[in-house]
Structures are given as structure tokens and as C-alpha cells.
Chain A
Amino acid sequence: MKLYTYFNDVPGISPFDSYKLILLWMEHWKAVGFEPFVLTEFHARKHPMFEKFNAVVSAFPSVNAPEYERACWVRWLAFSAMGGGYMADYDVFPVRVNEIEEIGDQYINMPTHYGDEISRIQIYQGSCCCPSFVWASSRTIDELCELFMSGDYGRKDQDGRAHQSDMYAIEQLVIEGNPIIQRHNTVVGYGDAGWEKSPAVHFSNGSMQPKGLTPRWQCIPSLIDEARKL
């Protein structure tokens, strides 16, 4: 089954490390039976909602590079345009292979009607509401994008600077008890308690850089090997 990720070049950031990380990500997910696939804005632009959605989210404030933040929003449309399924950040890697295969099996052969789970966005790094690994149907992604477009979700200022992100929007939806989000703890952030025993690990820049573990594509394979030996 397909596992999507989203990539967009960000000005000022060398594409080399990103490409190396994506290639490593593809290799690791292929090894556990997924078909990794890189989405871009080309796919997002196929979505009928693109023009309106892009105009709205481009105006959201961010402490990050505008292109980076915009990509975080726009990836949802690309994901929907491809019909939904699984989507992961390209710094989330499988660690416990058997458990990952179970996750892969979870949503295969799902009925086409919209049952309870089908109509919810499954967030696998549920502890922090981070959409680093998700499953969703196209219709539910569109519902989420409508909520994003309302502008009512995701505003959380950082050190006095205005900031709005899809992760905070998801967090807000969870706090408000909106049933569109369902959380799991299958993916754990690198360095968090029990990460070595987790089926999949999110090797985010924020968790790796302070420890000097850069470039990530060079460091991740040995971290995974060590975790698998435990």
C-alpha cells in the first residue's frame, strides 16, 4: 500500500540533505512493505479547492519560513487529491517491523462507506497531536481542510510572534473534543520515553539537532540499528 510524504523546496535550504533523507525514508518503508511516494504541490494543485485554500493559508502568520509553513498546510490537499490513505513526514522511520506491518494491515480492505474510523483522521503520533504519520480518507481530509480554512484553528503565538500551524490546529480540535481526530501512540518522537520500543520513530530536526545528530540521514540508520538490538 502507498505511503505518501510531501516535499517542497524551501529557499535557503540545500536540497541535498532533504533528498538524502527522503531516499533513506523510501528505502526503509519499502523494506516493510509500503510503497513510498513523494507528493509535491503539483498534486495539491489538482485538488478543486486549491486556489481558495492556498490563498487562505498563505495569509496565516508563521514564525517559520513562509514556504515551509505553507507546505505544511498544502500537503493535506495533495494527500486528498491522491485519494487519502497513509501519509508520513519523511523523518518518520519504522523501527519495530512486526508492529508496523500490523499498522499497514489496519486499513487495507476498509469498506467504502463512512464508518466511525473511516470518517476520522487517524493521528499516530497522538501524544503531541503531531500529524507526522496519519491515515485518512479523502472526504475526511477535505472536511479537515474546510476547518483549517475557517481560520479558527491553530493560532498559537511563539515568543510574542503570531503563529498558526496545522499541528496546533489538530491539537485545538482534540482539546475541543472534535471527533474528526482519533489519536494513537504508535509513533514516538526520538528521545521521548520508550522511543526505542516504539513501532515507528519521528526523528525530527528539533530532537536531533540539539544532540548534534546531523545530518539526520547519516545518523538515523545507526540509531534504528541500536533500537532494534534492545
Chain B
Amino acid sequence: MSFKLATIGYAPPPHIQAAQAFMDNLKKFPTKHELLLFSDYDWPGVLKLKQSPEYYFNPEHKETWPHKFALNNLLFFTGMQLAIKSGYSHVIYIESDCRVNKVGWDEIMFNEFFSMGKPLILGGSVVCYNPANWSKLALERWHRMVANNSSRNMPIPTYGWVNSTAKQTPCVFTNGALSVISMAWIQEIFNFSDGCVKLAEHACPWDFRLGNEIGERFFEEAYDVVGHLGCVYSSYGDVITSQQDRQDMLTSGQCIGIHQVKDNWQP
């Protein structure tokens, strides 16, 4: 695999979720490396999909979806398939509710990712689940990771769904949007031979699934192959930070990229 860096993401049609603000923002702050956007809409310079993702999972009929993350999963796996075909070794995955604030923001992310000097599968805003359900060593690794990052952009959100007596591998991953992803590992973990729709039907969000797959392979060492990047902040929901908080992180220069922005706001 040759070493080739890129940013990849789905550009929704203009009537969906602040798509124009997303496109304008990327135009204002171009990437250093390749930017591969794909869409079912005719955006200039964007790869046009043969079939709309809505053909498989129609947002008007969510009751027909296998689960609520199916469309997002499909967009991700479509992006990964394009990344494989393009021969990228590492990609930054973006979604239309990401905003950036610096020319060459991708290089800043890649620089932080590779400057960690570790064999990373993922880099971004780390999330952990069930850190105390595998072993003492796994718990120590989680503790060290949280301690190392407590003074950086944001403490590492940690959740759990099993009780203290249950054995469960740690689940460590980065919030999907604004993650640096090793493509060798995408090909190692996911089987694309049955197509993206099949992969998308798996009943959990793709980033969470990556965390599970990493945990099942690396156990305690999962904390060593997922890296927390201080230059971006990506979250899901508004419990820990509000959209205003995230916007402030971007405009103050604390971060060069944020997720989620659910309206037309852009820096």
C-alpha cells in the first residue's frame, strides 16, 4: 500500500442539513492533501454516485431501515470503498456537520496523528465504553489515557452498559467524524465483498463497531492503537458541550475542526 493521505466525505444535496455551509466551509479552508467528496447531487468537483443512498435507506420511510444508523453507516462504507479504490493509506473522514477553521487543517490533523509515534488505527476524539469490565491492566490503561488527556481539549467521555460483574472487552474508538483512519485496518476488519449495504445493516454505528472490533483483537492494548487528537473536537449530542461551546472552540483557535454543527453556522 503506497502512502497516500486524503480527506473523504459525503456531500448531501443542498436541501439537506446545511450542506451549502459545509461546502462553503471546505472551499474557504482547503485541504493540503486530496479531498474526495461524493454525492448523489451534482456539486462541482464532487464525485457523483450512480445511485442515491436513499435508494437503499429512504429518510422518508425510516420504519423500513434495519436500524437508525443504517444510512450513516452506508455513507461511511461507501466512502471507505472509494478510499480503497483510490489507494489511500490514511483518510480523515468528515460529515456535513463538521466545520474547520484553517487552511491545511488536514495536515495539522495528520501531523498530530503521526507525531504520536505509535502504531495507530484511529486518531481523533476518543470515546471509551466499559473500561472496568475486562482486567485490572485494561482499567489502568484507560486511567492513563484519561489522565494524559485531562488537560487537553476535552476529557475523554467514558460510558458503559454492563454491570461490574460482567466480563466485556474494552471498546475504544474515536467519534466517527473528524477521525484519522488507517485504511489497512478498514480492509482488515470489514469484508467489502458482500457490498456496502450489507455492512451498513450491522446493528450499530460504524465507529462504535470499529471500537468493538479493536477491543476484541487488542484487549488492553486497544488503548495503544487509538489516539486522542487535541487539534479537533468531535462529539455526538449536546450533553457535554453545546453547539455554542464547540463553535467557541473553533473560533478561539483551541481546535481547527469541530463536529457537530447542525445549522448553517460556519467560521
Contacts and interface: CB of A to CB of B under 8 A. Distances in A.
Contacts, number: 48
B185 A42 contact: no
B221 A36 contact: no
Contacts of A10: 1
B217 interface: yes
Interface in A9-29: 9-11, 14-16, 18-20, 22-23, 26
Contacts of A26: 118, 224
A1 interface: no
A37 B121 CA distance: 16
A8 interface: yes
A167 B182 CA distance: 29
Contact of A19 (B2, B3, B110, B119): B119
B117 interface: yes
A8 B3 contact: yes
A37 B2 contact: no
A7 interface: yes
A41 B89 CA distance: 11
Contacts of B204: none
B118 A11 contact: no
Interface string B148-181: 0000000000000000000000000000000000
Given A15-B185, A16-B217, A23-B119, A67 B2 contact: yes
Given A11-B1, A19-B119, A22-B119, A40 B188 contact: no
B184 interface: yes
Contacts of A22: 119
Contact of A43 (B114, B119, B218, B221): B114
Contacts of A38: 117-119
A14 B119 contact: no
Contacts of B117: 36-39
B34 to A, nearest CB: 14
B26 interface: no
A15 B3 contact: no
Contacts of B224: 23, 26
Interface string B77-113: 0000000000001000000000000000000001100
Contacts of A37: 117
B119 to A, nearest CB: 5
B110 A42 contact: yes
A68 to B, nearest CB: 11
16 contacts: A7-B119, A8-B1, A9-B182, A15-B182, A15-B188, A16-B188, A16-B217, A19-B225, A20-B221, A22-B119, A23-B119, A23-B221, A40-B114, A42-B3, A42-B5, A67-B2
